[in-house]
Structure 1
Amino acid sequence: MSRTVTVGLDGSRESLAAAEWAAREAKLRELPLRLVNVWEPVPEPMAQAPLLGAETQTHWSERIPREAAAGLRLRHPGVEITVEQLTGRASEVLVAAAKDSELLVLGSRGLSGLGGFLVGSIGQAVVAHAETPVVLVRAWEQAADEREMDPAGIPSAATGFRPVVLGLDTDRPDDAVITFAFEEAARRQTSLRVVHGWNLPPHYVSSLPAAPQIGVELGRQDAAALAAVLHPWKEKFPHVEVVEESRFGSPANHLVDASREASLVVVGRRIRRSPFGIHIGSVTHAVLHHATAPVAVVAHD
């Protein structure tokens, strides 16, 4: 793996927003930024059509990446930026590109009205198969910025980053997911908000109305389990302020709520190396589609 941040760029507002986010992340990590543009060949008869011919390919695969790179160099001086034009199926090419990166960043279209992501087939396929962390970023006009806004609605460089949010499974905590979240919070010099949602075991549900203290006790036990998982990490990252939230109810709903005040939401995905199907887990799937901040999906065994 080479030390680089890679972003998939197709000229859409969403991918341009992803490139901006990736450039800021590359600066935080002190890494070069690689812009990858994928051209999917079309059947020869279609390629002869005026809108799909050589001029169109030149526009999308050369002009747009070149102009995007020039703008990023102006706005992010000091970040080394390279451009690559690749050919093939977009999802397969991006998964391959992720293998040579520390981080892959993609754009994702915002849903109308309610906000959140609309993750297309390419984005879902990449998230499901890439073993490098993948970040999904919304279009700039609708995205919640990492930094607080000034009264004019412009991101303020004088204010700190919003918290990083981590969705943690205390039954199966994974070092890669937790490390990623702590490191992202440390880079931003912000707090880490760790959210764990829990529900009553089935055999407790019928007895709860008669004994509400059962729910209180289970809540205490869950909070203690969360604290135990995080204890060694808090010692490893003493400068990161950690806010622990053990909350009754759907983990996905709690994470979506927390995303409204976050600079980044971090969730995990268990690696399944079958080439068939898209498996990203129900919580991660819900967060990808409904969170209002960029979402990082960290693959783990």
Structure 2
Amino acid sequence: MAQGRLHASPIMSPGIRGAPGAAPAEAELSRSSSMWHEPEEGPLWNAMKKQLYRSEVSHVKRIVGESLIQQNKLMWNEIASLRQMLTDFQEQNDQFSEGLRQQVQFRGTQHRDLLRRQAQIILEDVRSQAAACGHSLEDLVPEVREPQWLDFLVPKAASHSSKCELRCRTPTTPSTRPSTRPSTSSGVSGCSTPDQVTGVPSLPLGRQLGVDELSGVAQGIREALEAEKEALLSIIGEQLQCLEVEDARRVESKRSEPSTQQLQEFVHKLQDLTVSPSLRTLAIAGPPSPGSRGPLTADESL
């Protein structure tokens, strides 16, 4: 492998390897965008292809492996689709959440606040009585198991979905910047983020490469593509996780607050429970004996 081809240099534009005074025959060998086109196959491969003469591309591509190039291309397309899906999903959820927020503001009257506070006070009283009888609040008031009532009566400081959203950042494009690292190194970054993919060899200026040099270049490109592949797989996994978070966010958003009428009916039910014979009977009976406790009947729980 020729020495000097591994020196760091920026990714070169098409034809930059042709020296200013290159002969016409050499100029004809440089890549001409007006005469030769290949489909886009991922930014890393396309960037390296621009540094090769036309006659070199097919040889290097054969050594690198067309299947690897195509795999990365398909993963780039999949990431683009997942990004668009996630963006659309997030926008829909934002619109849905804004609609719910406006509904809550509309419902946020003093009367509703009083009803909620009244329900909370009665629930605490029922909870203490239930505990004295060896039962839980949920045994007597099954509604508190429902997320709609639980979230309304016992607000959470922060939802799980909002924490997950902080981890779902839009991934950046893998870097194609060359490195001074030898092409025989692994080329795999210790970080899963794609912008850490480096190790692409730079090429000598103004001349074609020999067969041995092309083999070395192809090996370096393959290692960089393998690193890109690992980074893309990581991004796909992260995007799928973000979609799951948005789905959970949508489900949680659908748990709208109870209406004022529902809240009034719930408070009336709690008031009836506090004076019900069933609750007094449980208080007189005391805690159940070990192993005898079972679920309350509909009449017992009202």
Which interval holds the TM-score relative to the shorter structure?
under 0.3
TM-score between both structures, scaled by the size of structure 1: 0.21
TM-score under structure 2 length normalisation: 0.21
Larger Rg: 2
Higher relative contact order (CA 8 A, sep 6+): 2
